[in-house]
Amino acid sequence: MGDTYTHIGDILARNARMYPDDVALIERIPAEKKRSEITWKQFDDQANQFANVLLKKGIKKGDKVVHFMMNSINWLVAYFGIVRTGAWVVPLNFRFTAEDVKYCCDVAEPKIIVFDEEFTDRITAINGQLPTVEEYICVGNKTPGYAQPYAKLFAGASAAALSVAIGPQDECGLYFTSGTTGQPKPILLTHDNMLWACITENVHHRQTKQDCFILIPPLYHTGAKMHWFGSFIVAGKAVILKGVSPKWTLEAVSEEGGTIVWLLVPWAQDILMKFENGELKPSDYKLDQWRLMHIGAQPVPPSLIRKWKERFPAMDYDTNYGLSESTGPGCVHLGMGNEHKIGAIGIPGFNWEFKVVDEFGQTLKQGDLGELCVRGPGVMREYYRNPEATKKALIDGWLFTGDMARADEDGFIWLVDRKKDIIITGGENVFPVEIEDFFHAHPKIKDVAAIGLADERLGEIVAVVIETKTGASLTEDEVVKFGAPLPKYKRPRKVFFGPIPRNPTGKIEKPKLRKQYAGISEAFKI
């Protein structure tokens, strides 16, 4: 890999040399009726400008720069500017609270934080509590006094290429995901991981320069960026769509000539619903060139894909399975043309292999249920500053996913259940312990358990089982009202009342609750 490109920024430079005047990125903000675009040369120059800004501020190879922004052209410019200095980019979930950001900074120890103006309140709340941070750079029109304006720094910056020596095995990014405890885990990825993500995605979905990738999911997540990487490596243009609605997605595909769209389950459901109820008409849009719709980040209802194929019989479909620990999706995928296996997560990705093991790590025979393990070029370097978690997750090069699976007679992998208790709703991870801790503060609640309830649209929704204190009475409405301060995706959609079973060590027996209330074991049945 390193013989051709030594780091992910090399591909951007190559695209700028070969296709300087071709459009690279388009940004659409439908709510404001705004559209902007930049060419590959402009993209490359701006990334160099930001990199040179950072160098002047003392950033050097191995330093960390926190990147806290919403999807935009500037998001990608800043990202490539950071990695070109040899620093580690630390992209943060835009839903993170001030406390979450502080935790991530405590672990990463960044020298600089780059943030969008809409996150000013969160950054201000922890300003002064981050001893390693030397500079704040604000992207937007309103810059707080302690920060420097991104646009002003750009104005006098050089667009000259940097001479920093970066190799494929050098660290590229620190991606914070979350473990079973709910505390974000820092995943260390290398430039080689990133370069292979480009190749794997391109092999899977056969992107060419003529393709147009409609990019909707958040870029901080490895999923969206790694799918785009398949187009990036062949200089295919991308459309960054800010805001989600069926109408906006269809307009972007129609007006920009979109050929590939990665959707979350609810977004695909919403498009079909709008067609079915007549609110939107396919004939109002130019969709013939749309050749691939693929989905990942959560369980995919087979019924949804069957309905999608009825609506778009000529369109290819793929299911993507992956983890941040595997540099996003690609370690396993259904594969275009394998719709007869819808319901499976698929087969090993390009240059990947898998095995299913028992509780002792021994490989099981085909058809037996066990933990899914994958090995390939996207496996992370480590959980940064967490050797114990790393030792459990990485054994002899194998990544233990924590997901329970089995392989059928054709070698297709079926995800049966999750070993972890994470609830995945609309592609976002929700940690039961966070919900449980929140509701334990209610004066009438003795015990509480949060579980995932199967949902056709969101994959799962959060449900809580409440055990009230003796003599106390509590209604569903009271529970819902108490949960209102939680972020919307974490709020319980279902409330049950009953005893909370715990084992002798005090742990909640979640399988019993799922069977009793959620039927999740049936939802994942093959």
Query: Which DSSP helix (H) or strand (E) runs through 435?
Result: helix 432-439
Q: Report the C-alpha gap between 195 and 191 in whole angstroms.
A: 6
CATH 3.30.300.30 corresponds to the domain 423-523:
yes
The residue written with tokens 């052209």 in the block is 73
Q: What does the pLDDT average to over 499-512? A: 70
Contact 185, 179 (CB under 8 A): yes
Q: Per residue in 44-76, pLDDT tens?
A: 999 999 999 999 999 999 999 999 999 999 999
Domain boundaries, the chain: 423-523
Query: What whole-number percentage of the chain has pLDDT above 70?
Result: 94
Q: Per residue in 209-228, pLDDT tens?
A: 999 999 999 999 888 899 99
> Terminal CA-to-CA distance of the chain, rounded, Å?
39
Q: Per residue in 103-135, pLDDT tens?
A: 999 999 999 999 999 999 999 999 999 999 999
At residue 520, the pLDDT reads: 43
Average pLDDT, the chain: 91
pLDDT band at 26 (very low <50, low <70, confident <90, very high): very high
At residue 471, the pLDDT reads: 87
Query: What SS3 state is found at 53?
Result: helix
Query: What SS3 state is found at 156?
Result: coil
Q: Per residue in 314-365, pLDDT tens?
A: 999 999 999 999 998 899 999 999 989 988 999 999 999 999 999 899 999 9
Least confident of 5-14, 93-102, 358-367, 422-431: 422-431
pTM of the model: 0.83
pLDDT band at 424 (very low <50, low <70, confident <90, very high): confident
At residue 177, the pLDDT reads: 80
Q: Report the C-alpha gap between 384 and 79 in whole angstroms.
A: 20
How many CB atoms are closer than 10 A to CB 158? 14
At residue 420, the pLDDT reads: 65
pLDDT band at 83 (very low <50, low <70, confident <90, very high): very high
